[in-house]
Structure formats: C-alpha cells, structure tokens
Structure 1
Amino acid sequence: MKTIIITGAGTGLGKELSLLLAKQGYHTVLIGRSEAALNEVKQQIEQDEGHASILSLDIRNPEDIKEKMLVLNKHHHLYGLINNAGIGCFGPFSQAMDQEVEDTFSTNVLGTIHMTKAVLPYLENNEEGLVLNIISTAGLRGKKHEAIYSASKFAIRGFTESLQKEYEGSNITFIAAYMGGMDTPFWEGSNHVENPAKFRSPQEVAKLILEQLDQDTIIIESKTKG
C-alpha cells in the first residue's frame, strides 16, 4: 500500500485531504501539533476501513525529520508528501515582531524544505512519487497586511517551481496548490479576517485539489458563500 505523509493533518485542509486520500486507498501518515486532533482523524479514517498512523515530529527540526522518515521507510512504501502545515502572520509590517518573522519562515518555508529534502531520496529510490505544496494565493500576489506571510509563500512558490524543472521527465511530480481563504481554525486568534465562515469549506477545497492532481499548478480563488 502506498503511503502519503500529510503535515498539519489534525484540522482544516490537512484533515480533509487525509480523509479523502484514505478513501482512495492510501495509507496516510498524519503529522500535526495536537496528538488528540490527529487521533480523531485517525479514528475517522479507520471507521471507514481506511489506514492511517500518526507521527509526532517537529517540522522545523531537520534531524528529527530525517530520523523519523528513515523509520517510516522501513515499514511503508513512501509515495507522497503533502506540505500543508503553516502559520499566519498578519498586520502592518512595521508592527511585526522579530519572533513572528522567525516563526513564520521556520514553519512555512524551512519546514516545507526540510520535509521535502528528507522524503525525496525514498521517492527517488522508488522511482515515483508526489509532492504537493499547499501555498495559498498569497504566494501569487502580495496582499495588504500580509507582507511576511506572503513572502514565506512566495519562497515556497519558487522552491516548487524550481523542483518542477529539476524533476521534469521523471515519475516524481511536484504540484503547487494556491487557494484563497478557507473556513478553518487557521484564523483563530487573528482579526485579519472578519468572518471566515463566508469562505469555502476545507472539504470543498480538498475535493477540488484532488480532482486536479494531473496539473502542475492548482489555483482555487476565494469564493464567499451565498
């Protein structure tokens, strides 16, 4: 059974992608910050007769990632990686704290790069694979009060596009998915978006993404309900 690793799998888009991929017959490895949330997703998958496991790791720690990917590869056929985990940093740039900048780039950029670098050797060895980077439309154009967040997403855009060229002609596919705002817990603790409930649901976005995995670039613009 082919295995796909999903970061940020406990809630929102990561959760919905995990549920759908499990229904498609993949073994899903769920990575996130809350073990309780991950266990709930795992139970949902298993109730539908799917296969899942949870993995606790810090995507900002390359050594931790390497060690755990080595162990995973011994027990599973590593086929895919979905770099979905990310954090937001919103507000006037001049008021941003240095730690916010560090945290945003450590998670959104370095976390994605470290995960990809650790998994790629196994995909190369298997001569097939899929890396899906969840980027956001903030990686297509700058937005007011999103300078730091947008900069981190532009970095992953460049990273993904470069790997698309590097692995062109191989059986390893890199996909960049850009989507607008979703109605997820991502916005908790922020007043950047007044009413997240007006956005698409993560279930809808997950379905749209998986329907377009034959494309190098997926763009799903914001759409408000009603």
Structure 2
Amino acid sequence: MDIIAITGAGTGLGKELALQYAKQGHTIIAIGRRLSPLMDVVWHIEHSGGKAFAYPLDIRCYEEVTHTVNEIVKQHRVTHLVNNAGIGYFGPLSSLSRQQIDEMIQTNVNGTIYMTKAFLPHLLAMPKAKIVNIISTAGLRGKVNEAVYAATKFAIRGFSESLVKELEGTNVSVTAVYMGGMDTPFWNGSDHIKDRSRLRPPKEIAKQIIACEDGQTEIILS
C-alpha cells in the first residue's frame, strides 16, 4: 500500500480523496493550514480502520514547506503526492485586490511548486512514486471573471506538462487533473456560481480521479 500526502486535505475534494484512498488501504498524510479539519479527517479514517496523520502547513511559505516536508519524510516513506490545495477569488480583474491576486498566485502556483520541489528528492528515491496535480478546467481555457484564477491554473498546467518531460524515464509519474466545478466549501462566500445544485459532489470526482489516474499524464473530467 502507498503512503499518500494530500494538500488541502481538510475539506472538499482533498478530504474526499483522503477518505477514498484510505478505503483502499493506503496511509494518508493530511496536509492543510488548519489543524482542526485535518484531525476530523484523521478521526474518520482511523475509525474506519485506516491510518492517517495530520500536518498543519501553510504551503505558501517556502521555509515552512521545507521544514515540514523534511519532518514528514523522516517518519513516512511517502510514495504519492497530491497537490490539491487551491484558492479562488472571482470577478472582473478591476475588482480584485492585490491581496486576493497574491493569495491565488502564492497558493495555487508557488505552493504547488514548493511542495513538489520539497518532496521530489524523496520520491525519486522510492521504487515507484507519483505526483498528481489537481488543476481544474480553468487550466484549459479562460473564463469570464476568472482571469487571475485561470492564470494560476494555466501556470500549473505548464508546470505539470514540463515535469512529465523532465521526469520521463524516472520512477516518478506525473498526472494533471482537469475537472469542472464541485459543490465544496471552495465556493463559500462567493456568488460566482449562481446555482450550486448543478455542481458535482466531490466524492464522485474523487472516485473518478482515483479510478483513472494510473498510467495517465492527463485526466479531463468535465
């Protein structure tokens, strides 16, 4: 069984991925900014007979990422990194504050790159390892009122496609996942999605990702 590190594991798709992977017998390293939601995920996994560990971490901080990942790999032979954490602010570009722009870039782009860089030497030392980047269909085409959010997702699309080439011939595979909107806390406080009832549940998306990821460099779930 694998030991799978998941960012943004406390809520939404990250939580569902953690629960679904755990059902398959994998050990979960749940990573996120807030300890309380992570511990809730750990509790659910352990009370279902699985194994999980929580590590609070702000992936926007390079030094914190380096330190925490070093601690994780000292204790766990992580074989699988899922870069799931993300944040979005929506509306016309003129309406976005500098803080909102910076938060999206720092979390969606820098955080994903920092986490991958920190884990990569360890993953390369494993017999077989995997990196999964959760991107969204905003990384495939621009959308109204999503200029900066889409820019961050296009960035991680380029990062993922380049990593596929860079790691070709190694033991580490890379999969980029592009999926449409889900009904998760991601949309709380936003009126960008007028009718959340049409969004798919994260549990359904999580199951699809896990079922499709082996051997694929790209998964598109519309």
Q: Same fold (TM over 0.5)?
A: yes
**Deviation of 1:124 (Å):** 0.9
In structure 2, C-alpha distance between the alignment counterparts of 1:121 and 1:128, rounded to whole Å: 13
Q: Which residue pairs with 1:61 in the alignment?
A: 61
Q: Which residue pairs with 2:76 in the alignment?
A: 76
Q: Which residue pairs with 2:157 in the alignment?
A: 157
Within 5 Å, give how 1:41-190 maps onto structure 2: 41-190=41-190
Q: Which residue pairs with 2:26 in the alignment?
A: 26
- Structure 1 segments of 4 or more deviating over 3 A? none
In structure 2, C-alpha distance between the alignment counterparts of 1:88 and 1:208, rounded to whole Å: 23
Deviations 1:70-115 (A, max 9, x none): 1111211110111100000210112221111111000000000000
Identical columns (%): 52
Please give the secondary structure, in 2, of the residue aligned with 1:42: helix
How does the TM-score come out when normalised to structure 1? 0.95
In structure 1, C-alpha distance between the alignment counterparts of 2:143 and 2:15, rounded to whole Å: 27
Q: Contact (CA 8 Å) 1:139, 1:151: kept in 2 or not? A: yes
In structure 2, C-alpha distance between the alignment counterparts of 1:186 and 1:204, rounded to whole Å: 16
Q: Which residue pairs with 2:16 in the alignment?
A: 16
Task: Count residues in correspondence.
Answer: 221
**Which sections of structure 1, spanning at least 5 residues, go unmatched?**
222-226
Q: Contact (CA 8 Å) 2:38, 2:54: kept in 1 or not? A: yes
Question: Match for 1:216: what amino acid?
Answer: T
In structure 1, C-alpha distance between the alignment counterparts of 2:20 and 2:125, rounded to whole Å: 26
Question: Match for 2:221: what amino acid?
Answer: I
Q: Which residue pairs with 1:2 in the alignment?
A: 2
- Are 1:219 and 2:207 matched, yes or no? no
The RMSD of aligned alpha carbons is 1.0
In structure 1, C-alpha distance between the alignment counterparts of 2:195 and 2:179, rounded to whole Å: 17
**Deviation of 1:159 (Å):** 0.1
In structure 1, C-alpha distance between the alignment counterparts of 2:202 and 2:135, rounded to whole Å: 14
